[in-house]
Amino acid sequence: MRILITGGSGFVGKPLCARLHERGHELLVVSRNPERARGALPPRTNVRPSVADFVDSQPEAIINLAGESIAEGRWTEAKKQRLLDSRLTITQALVDLCGQLETPPKVMVSASAMGYYGDQGDREVTEETPPNPEFVHELCARWEETARQAESHGVRVALMRIGLVLDRDGGTLAKLLTPFRLGLGGPLGSGKQYMPWIHRTDLVRIILFLLDQEALAGPFNAGAPEPVTNAEFTRTLARHLHRPAFLPAPAPALRLAFGEMSRILLTGARMRPQRLQEAGFTFEYPTLDEALSEILRKR
């Protein structure tokens, strides 16, 4: 199958492309830097700088992972607009491509994020939980709405509301390892906020599952079945690294340093993957202990 992928050379995209290549799929990857991307991707990957460049390639499926990191820097109005544009522009381009093709792709698996729900306190969150309106919800909701426009072209659209993606060589965990190894780790604010998380291997498996299961459409919570609070995450990581973790980052200090962006550090959602589990998906790493044991024994 010919599969068009945005974000294919990123933290999740690279191992995903490797798995798709192993399965014998033909890979079409959008990258602003094609030469650099080719060096990180499987042989014979077709890399071009824009979605429109693939109008002659007749992709049979789309995986949309592109988007600027939400957790870096203060959210100025300009930053918020970049976060929106980096998701909506390329997603709209994919929808437009679907409309231009004589035979549209069968499926689009498109990223969203746990931020769709906003702050949910300690209540259990499924795909049916009403969101709390705030910027991260607006960002994810507009991203999802744009992707779902592909349905008007006969494309099955599956949306992944992704938790914190864990692995050693990138994402949140990579940023935490050095301070925690130095004994400088600790909870953020009260530590009571929930942190939905997922091992990168399981996220890649979810993408493949949604690609293959022709009856699955709409939103899916892409987080492990055992979400933890920030305090639990901190204690578990410290225990695996055999280090103390008693230096909290007070909420007022985080608000002062990061402004509105601090909300994604100080709030959360107890998100569970109800629809995935009902569809028969099983996790290789359902608990944080299992995930960190696997990740931290890698060399």
Domain harbouring 246, CATH code = 3.40.50.720
Residue 67's domain spans which residues? 2-296
pLDDT number for residue 191 = 94
d(CA 198, CA 97): 31
Predicted pLDDT of residue 188:
93
pLDDT of residue 264: 85
Token pair of 9, please? 């050379």
| Cα–Cα distance for residue pair 222/233, rounded to 1 Å | 18
Cβ atoms of 30 and 51 within 8 Å: the answer is: yes
For residue 175, the model assigns a pLDDT of 87
What residues of the chain score a pLDDT lower than 50? none
Query: What pLDDT shows up at residue 275?
Result: 98
**Can you give the pLDDT at residue 298?**
63
Instruction: Report the pLDDT value the prediction gives residue 74, as an integer from 0 to 100.
Output: 87
Instruction: Give pLDDT, residue 13.
Output: 97
For residue 118, how far is the Cα from the chain centroid? 15
SS3 165: strand
| Element holding 254 (H helix, E strand) | helix 251-258
Task: Tell me how many domains the chain contains.
Answer: 1
